[in-house]
Structure 1
Amino acid sequence: MSRRFSRGRKPLATATKKRRAPGREKNISSALHASVLGLLAAQNTALNETEIARALGLSRHELVQLRAVLGQLLERRAIDKKGRRFALAAGQERLRGTLDLTAKGFGYAIPEGEQAKGGKDVYIAAHNLNGASQGDTILVAITGSGRSHREGRVIQILQRAVTQICGIFTASGAGGYVTPDDDRFPATLLIRRNDTLAAGDGMAVMAEIVDYGSERQGPCGRIVELLGDARTASVQIRMAVLQGGLRERFPAEVDAEAAGLQPVAACDEGRQDLRHLPHVTIDGETARDFDDAICVERSGDQFVLYVSIADVSHYVRTGSAIDREAYLRGTSVYLPDRVLPMLPERLSNDLCSLVPDQDRPAFTAILRFDATGRRIGERYTKSLIRSRQRFTYTTINRLLYLNEPQARAVHHELVPMLEQASTLTELLKKRRLARGSLEFNIPEPEVTLAGETVAAISLAERNRAHMLIEDCMLAANEAVAETLAKARHPVLYRIHEYPDPAKLEVFTDAAKALGFRLPQSEVNPAWFAQVIEQARNSSAEYIVNNLLLRTMQQARYSPENNGHFGLAAPYYLHFTSPIRRYPDLVAHRVLANLLSGHAPDHARPVSAKTADLGEAGIHLSQCERKAIDVERNAHARCSCLLLMDRVGEIFAAIISGVTAFGLYVTLDDSYISGMVPLTSMTDDYYLHDSRRYRLIGEASNRMYQLGDRVLVRLEQVDFSAKRLAFSLAPR
């Protein structure tokens, strides 16, 4: 019997024994296949039948089945036989990888070193997992190839990724069990009476896995931490953090090293004094770390843009305890009730934060533009700056774009500089759009908490002030990337490759189904820009932007400069946020190396133990993906908390996806997503038209199509899966 069983079922150790049904022999054999292959893969010498049975703990009556399995493996040439001994077949392709499980029980092995090179993942059926769990490092034998993926089986678990899981505790007479909070871990964890830590029934807990189980018995463990009430915001958000495996606390040596850092008191040799310039920072209302400041001067028909970035590299030396920890984290993670910073607060909120009226070391890009916004010169310098004002996007919008007299009067000394910045960034944006840079318009949901409850989820405000600062940062990132590329100094570029052709075909079908006339030109960034512009302010704008975003490849970090498709930029990297992104710190170090006149290999830009930029690019891209996944996970949990007491209510929504299983909908006010299962649409038998993204009633000819406005009733809030189920409501 497989150790994986459905959520909510009693743990295997407490289930009633039943005689094995004849129809289940195939499943048992499949599991035994994986066990035999895993055993033989781990051996240096061949084993006979008795040794295999003993190693796998098989009983005498299971020997017949073992012989059958060995015969099947021989027929498939997965193993070799010499005399009476068996060994893994010579020449069978094997690879190391990381297991990514799905909620449906099967998984994919992500090959080591191939992810950044476009290598295809390896499909692994549930019966070929050989006991492997989410995130495990595994050895996989390739068994064949399908249409889009290679296929394989786990022959050895090299390293367990998960030793602890969070979940909900259910008490029982023998102790209880923990139902994992992550549906990629469908096996419940048996907890014996002395290992419950006095957890209450229904409490959220963290449990340590003591035994991963076998074919006959499920896993067991012990509770190591009581997390609290699972229906409170702080507990749900922390469960997202724990599920994502993020680092919550800094090691003692990192805190000690940060505490010993001293602020820069004056300009040291080689640092340019720019304190006379009226630098300002522009961020959101809740921002605490200010890592970029700008200033714009105008001379005749030319502009000079100063983009001054916190000089994190001054404090964080390569290979130091802070640097090693920052590399492991890769990025800061922003959640509704907390921030998990890449750097200790001593740096992120103090020494490196460009707070007003304080001298701060910076790295400044001095960029010169002509009257059309074309960059005609660039220079870089280590500097000392003094921010004049901490502006918010709201204030800048009121001051520059709403022209509110009171706001302009309060900040009258800085208004001329800000107006020059606005003029320049309009020119920069115009040039960027002309070359085909994409301007997605996808609202970002923002969670508002009131103590332990989710008070609201609304759309984050985005105005022209956001675009002003973004265009300044884009200009600096492009300039630094081009400078380092032409100087041939290896660095981590931010690359964004051409969309996947299969996804592009899916998008074109969907866009035509929505009634859009697609450009008849070459598919390039300008082509996408035309589609976005055609959808602007239409009822389908959200759908089109979302579909386009899904069509795109994921941007990533790489030492190979392949350009940035979405920005239509031949050179691009991240330079402007070293407080919260490690690749930016790498760029600072490489640029400093160039300015000092040293050879490209003079100093390592990443932690001493990870000198290879290719490996660093893969790791830091994975850190970014993990952060995004946790942020989405936390949002899904908050969505469930917000709606858990609103079952039965009716909401206005848009159909954002159509599948053979039902309709995906997005609520108008909050942009919370859920599904209308086809099983709930009982008024007719609906046929799925995949090419036109619609469901059509066979008898009534009633049609539900991508982009349609509908009313939906909330039917279920599934906390375990973090999903919302709706039904269609009559208008």
Structure 2
Amino acid sequence: MTEVDDRLISDTLEVFRNNPDKKYDPEQINDILRMNGSQAFKKVVKSLAILEGEGKINVNSNGRFKLAPPDQIVTGEFRANEKGFGFVRYDETDPDIFVARPNVLHAINGDEVKVKITKPANPWGSRGPEGEIVEITGHGLTELVGEFQPYSDVQVEKTGLLGYVQSHEKKIAGYRVFIPDEGLHPQMGDMVKVSLTQYPSDEQPNSMQGVAETVLGNKNDPGVDILTIVYDNDIHVDFPDEVINQAEDIPDTVTSEDRKGRVDITDQVMVTIDGDDSKDFDDAVTLWKLDNGNFHLGVSIADVSYYVTEGSPLDQEAYDRGTSTYLTDRVIPMIPFRLSNGICSLNPGVDRLSLTCDMEIDKNGHVVSHEIYPSVINSHARLTYSNVNKIFDNDKEQIEANAELVPMLNDMHELHDILYAMRHDRGAIDFEAPEAKIIVDDNGKAVDIEIRDRGISERMIESFMLAANETVAEHYRKQHLPFLYRVHEKPDEEKVKNFFETASTFGIQVQGSIKNITPKMLQTVVTKTKDTPEELVTTTMLLRSMQQARYSEDALGHFGLAAEYYTHFTSPIRRYPDLVVHRMIHQYSQNTDEALKEKWNKVLPDIGQHSSIRERHSIDAERAVNDLKKTEYMEENVGEVFDGVVGSATSFGIFVTLENTVEGLVHISNMHDDFYEFDERQLALVGKRTHKTYKIGQPIKVKLTRADLDSRKLDFEVVLPPEEQKKVDEARKKNANRQRGGNKRHNDRNKKPFNKR
């Protein structure tokens, strides 16, 4: 056994104490301590094991170590469950801390809390740590939107309160926010934005108090439903005056001053390819074949950072928003439309400022050389995905209309095939889920749901953007300069184990060790189940096992793409991290001195964390609006029967997905033909008497019984075959008769005798 002296253990611990928030793998510790040779490395590993055994450092499921917090009290964000318990997220990769209902200390969703870990995680099992909240250090929820319920005049006079507001969001729907008789006077059914002044306490555990700030309108007014969700997710709607003023002062054409220090490539045949309804174009592409058989791919991205200057009102507002939010009937932009649809948009036929990444790509899909530089471009055409797909499908009308561009587009198709094959070979996991486009009328009411299939043109542009993002990330990583990366870490080991066990039930055996998970291992399962009944199961399980992608100053790689280096460079109109990446590229082209490095080292952690949080807010709003509009669309179809697929099974029922992507629940209490129990291994509900099984991916026929707009939920019942339904009806009838007979005998026994006189 390798002996470890106390000095090495002490030096190892000192590394963690000097960087208490940083995680290290054994190789990094070995490098920091400047240990050489395999024997020395074994000693480092041993010292880590000793420190972990003593509880001085912790290890996560990815094998990375971090200093253990003193007394195991950590600070994190509380994420409530509607049933009263919750979880505290205190680290992007470590498992969340479970907090039982009696231990939440009246914390509400989004609160910053200190939590004492009462039971550590089991590193060899699926159980995470447990804890109790000892202090609420900050309230994440300072405003909310809810429906106003007024008090009677007598109650107002007695309590001094106008009534209360109650949110429709399930995580805080259990709280009433009382409104004092001052300021605004909403009406019954109004959706009201409230600024919170008092929070739950021992005396009032289920209520808060607040001031009515804004009346959005009655809950039945057009557009108020979406506006409610927008405010609930803390998404800025209106731009401050100083932001609008700065945007108005920016010229709407490229000036001679703007062109200084840029490469003029307006002669290159650049095109934009976007959706039919797109209005902001932040990427343009060009391509030609080189004499050596390689491809020249040029990706030019709108240079938003030139106009949104560092520290300006525009920049601060873009940082606060973090991203644009795309809803069914509107876009809430990160920067004002005057910029996003104007000077910052690569509109056809006009000169625009951009940052260009030129890549020479060989026939194996590898970038053999590249150049990144500020440029001036002029888009030759605004193409749409649908029309380019028609060209690839040999549509004569579109081929004739775009005759000059067709040869380049065909070469782009060829390069895309090469890039896709390259990514697949290295293990990139390709998720292909149907996308729904919800059609609304002039009042915002959902009238149809269309399924959008991604064609070759969509995948082609994605391939080119991925290539540019990887190239830019690798360029600055290899220069050892501070940079902002888009990272996607290895999935949770226990969840992957469950995923492989499920795959084995389909006869798919995955080669390799769970201790060293690679994207290729997971891709194998996805590939083998493609276009089979098991495809939905494997995709669903795999998505559940994955970590959430985020922004980080550390180049941790992108597991899903099987990419060693990855960033977001290609969408600065709608993503703040991309804008920051552009800003760094400009500044590094001027100098790379220590002062500049120190500046970015200082601010990047905050930018990465904040941008990740704002991205989640935007995604939550987009999902909530989609759920709302799908529920609204289905409201007209209550009582109708639909074909669907079991999307997931739980202990309380099965979620069913219809062909139009709408999802609803068949609650276990509405499954009348048997008593069903949840089989965790099969992820299925199994009938106790009949052994009938409902599992993921199984076709099913259901009837819509309820569409609840407030909760944005749909309820289904299983439609049984006629012969099975007949048996259920007969059993119900017998039970009803027995019940009536029992009640009659009970009533007869309790009758008092009638005494005649």
Pick the TM interval, shorter chain. 0.7 to 0.9
Alignment partner for residue 557 of structure 1, among 534, 542, 551?
551
1:528 aligns with 2:522: yes
1:246 aligns with 2:235: yes
**Counterpart secondary structure, 1:395:** helix
Residue 241 (structure 1) shift? 0.9
CA contact (8 A) 1:213 1:219 kept: yes
Q: What 5-or-longer segments of structure 1 have no aligned partner?
A: 1-90
Alignment partner for residue 316 of structure 1, among 303, 308, 331?
308
Amino acid at match of 1:425: H
Distance 2:329 2:406 in 1: 34
**Counterpart secondary structure, 2:223:** helix
CA spacing shift, 1:524–1:141, aligned 2, 3 Å: closer
Residue 435 (structure 1) shift? 1.3
Amino acid at match of 2:208: P
Alignment of 1:252-651 (within 5 A): 252-262=241-251, 263-266=253-256, 268-300=259-291, 301-399=293-391, 401-452=392-443, 453-513=445-505, 515-521=506-512, 523-599=517-593, 601-602=595-596, 611-651=602-642
CA contact (8 A) 2:82 2:171 kept: yes
1:135 aligns with 2:110: yes
**Counterpart secondary structure, 1:612:** helix
Distance 1:647 1:673 in 2: 14
Residue 363 (structure 1) shift? 0.4
Residue 345 (structure 1) shift? 1.6
Distance 2:606 2:504 in 1: 41
Off by >6 Å, runs of 4+ in structure 1: 603-606
Residues 2-33 of structure 1 show CA distances to partners (whole Å, capped at 9, x for unaligned) of xxxxxxxxxxxxxxxxxxxxxxxxxxxxxxxx
User: Relative to structure 2, which stretch is displaced further, 362-371 or 545-554?
Assistant: 545-554
1:676 aligns with 2:666: yes
CA contact (8 A) 1:179 1:187 kept: yes
Identical positions, percent: 35
Residue 442 (structure 1) shift? 0.8
Residue 205 (structure 1) shift? 2.5
CA contact (8 A) 1:590 1:605 kept: no
Q: Match for residue 122 of structure 1?
A: 97
**Counterpart secondary structure, 1:569:** coil
Amino acid at match of 1:190: F
Distance 1:611 1:251 in 2: 28
Distance 1:600 1:295 in 2: 36
CA spacing shift, 1:580–1:603, aligned 2, 3 Å: farther
Distance 1:209 1:375 in 2: 54
CA spacing shift, 1:542–1:314, aligned 2, 3 Å: same
Amino acid at match of 2:249: G
CA contact (8 A) 1:442 1:546 kept: no
Distance 2:98 2:512 in 1: 37
TM-score (norm: length of structure 1): 0.82
Distance 2:118 2:597 in 1: 45
Distance 1:299 1:315 in 2: 35
* Count of aligned residue pairs for this structure pair: 630
User: Relative to structure 2, which stretch is displaced further, 580-589 or 273-282?
Assistant: 580-589
Distance 2:343 2:120 in 1: 54
Amino acid at match of 2:568: H
Q: What 5-or-longer segments of structure 2 have no aligned partner?
A: 1-69, 156-161, 722-757
Q: Match for residue 187 of structure 1?
A: 175
Q: Match for residue 206 of structure 1?
A: 193
CA spacing shift, 1:440–1:233, aligned 2, 3 Å: farther
CA contact (8 A) 1:425 1:472 kept: yes
Q: Match for residue 165 of structure 1?
A: 144
CA spacing shift, 1:605–1:365, aligned 2, 3 Å: farther
Distance 1:540 1:687 in 2: 22
CA contact (8 A) 2:535 2:697 kept: no
1:220 aligns with 2:209: yes
**Counterpart secondary structure, 1:724:** strand
Distance 1:455 1:600 in 2: 58
Residues 462-509 of structure 1 show CA distances to partners (whole Å, capped at 9, x for unaligned) of 111101111111111111111111111111111111111111122223
Distance 1:531 1:125 in 2: 36
RMSD of aligned Cα (Å) = 2.2
1:99 aligns with 2:96: no
CA spacing shift, 1:330–1:605, aligned 2, 3 Å: farther
Which has the bigger relative contact order, CA under 8 A and spacing at least 6?
1
Residues 329-348 of structure 1 show CA distances to partners (whole Å, capped at 9, x for unaligned) of 11111111111211122221
Q: Match for residue 727 of structure 1?
A: 717
Residue 230 (structure 1) shift? 2.6
Distance 2:619 2:511 in 1: 35
CA contact (8 A) 2:259 2:376 kept: no
CA contact (8 A) 1:586 1:605 kept: no
Amino acid at match of 2:140: A
Residue 545 (structure 1) shift? 1.9
Residue 95 (structure 1) shift? 3.4
**Counterpart secondary structure, 2:478:** helix
CA spacing shift, 1:476–1:605, aligned 2, 3 Å: farther
Residues 339-382 of structure 1 show CA distances to partners (whole Å, capped at 9, x for unaligned) of 12111222211111000011000100111122333221101111
**Counterpart secondary structure, 2:169:** coil
Residues 381-423 of structure 1 show CA distances to partners (whole Å, capped at 9, x for unaligned) of 1100000111110011011x11111111111121222222222
**Counterpart secondary structure, 1:373:** coil
User: Relative to structure 2, which stretch is displaced further, 467-476 or 218-227?
Assistant: 218-227
Residues 620-660 of structure 1 show CA distances to partners (whole Å, capped at 9, x for unaligned) of 11111221111111111112211223222211110111122
**Counterpart secondary structure, 1:602:** helix
CA contact (8 A) 2:500 2:510 kept: no
CA contact (8 A) 1:310 1:352 kept: yes
CA contact (8 A) 2:655 2:663 kept: yes
User: Relative to structure 2, which stretch is displaced further, 483-492 or 616-625?
Assistant: 616-625
